[in-house]
């Protein structure tokens, strides 16, 4: 999904407006995918290649050499076919998709420097399109005061807008809802707005 300059500007403005209400920090990240899952086609190709000789030995009179060649062909052809992104994702269990997306969200939290705030009151709003995943990662300061349920409205908004193919609108709305939570626990004060007010697309 391509975001226009206007979309980026709207999200940046929403973050800037939100952070005037709180000493907390908000950073937004949009990922096309949280992992390339490159191992998945190889695993399925290898399993199929290992199984291929048995029906060939039972149903044909092919030589061992030809069966071996067929085995290699099955592995290569299936691996290439399953490497197509749309097919590859269908082979990954939902639990694995969510685990990879969650790990990527936490990695982005630290990569973007959100843990450097003295008050530990920064949050990351993370969306991964391929996994259909949205998450708010909160630093330990705000996490001790605000339960995960308080972020649920923002997550639900992100997911609803993503399903309607309106991800930029989802980020703008989610930023406002997250600001409500942050403002309750961390009103405006010093050391605010130390991080860039922007959407990172990875």
Q: Answer yes or no: are the C-beta atoms of 182 and 125 closer than 8 Å.
A: no
Question: Which pLDDT score is estimated for 116?
Answer: 82
pLDDT at 3 over 90: no
Give the pLDDT of residue 192.
64
Q: Specify the pLDDT at position 152.
A: 92
130/1: higher pLDDT: 130
- For the chain, the average pLDDT equals 89
- Residue 36: pLDDT band with limits 50, 70, 90: confident
- Residue 20, classified by CB atoms within 10 Å of its CB into exposed (0-12), middle (13-18) or buried (19+), is exposed
Q: What is the pTM of this model?
A: 0.79
More confident residue, 47 or 36: 47
Which CATH number applies to 5-36+93-201: 2.40.50.140, 1.20.1740.10, 3.40.50.360, 3.10.310.50? 3.10.310.50
- For 52-96, how does the pLDDT look when each residue is reduced to its tens digit (9 = 90+)? 888 888 888 888 888 889 889 999 998 998 888 878 878 888 888
Please name every residue paired with 51 in a beta bridge, in sequence order, or none if there are none: none
Q: What is the pLDDT at residue 191?
A: 63
Cα 146 to Cα 135, 150, 152, 167: the distances in Å are 15, 6, 11, 25
pLDDT bracket for residue 6 (50, 70, 90)? very high
Average pLDDT of span 20-46: 89
Q: How far apart are CA 134 and CA 167, in angstroms?
A: 11
In the chain, which segments carry CATH 3.10.310.50?
5-36+93-201
Closest CA to 181 of 134, 135, 133, 148: 148
> Residue 10 has what pLDDT?
95
Evaluate if residue 108 carries a pLDDT over 90.
yes
């Amino acid at each position: 999904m391509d975001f226009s300059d206007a979309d980026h500007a709207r999200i940046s403005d929403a973050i800037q407006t939100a952070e005037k209400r709180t000493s907390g920090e908000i950073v937004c990240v949009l990922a096309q995918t949280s992992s390339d899952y490159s191992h998945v086609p190889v695993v399925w190709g290898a399993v199929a290649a290992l199984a291929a000789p048995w029906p060939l030995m039972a149903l044909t009179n092919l030589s061992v050499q030809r069966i071996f060649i067929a085995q290699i062909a099955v592995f290569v052809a299936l691996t290439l076919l399953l490497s197509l992104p749309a097919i590859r994702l269908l082979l990954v269990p939902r639990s694995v998709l969510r685990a990879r997306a969650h790990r990527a969200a936490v990695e982005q939290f630290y990569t973007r420097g959100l843990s450097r705030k003295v008050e530990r009151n920064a949050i990351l709003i993370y969306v991964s399109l391929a996994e259909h995943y949205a998450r708010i990662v909160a630093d330990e300061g705000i996490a001790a005061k605000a339960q995960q349920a308080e972020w649920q409205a923002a997550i639900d908004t992100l997911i609803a807008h993503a399903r309607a193919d309106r991800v930029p609108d989802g980020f703008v709305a989610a930023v406002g809802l997250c600001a409500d939570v942050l403002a309750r626990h961390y009103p405006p004060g010093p050391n605010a707005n130390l991080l860039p007010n922007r959407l990172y697309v990875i």
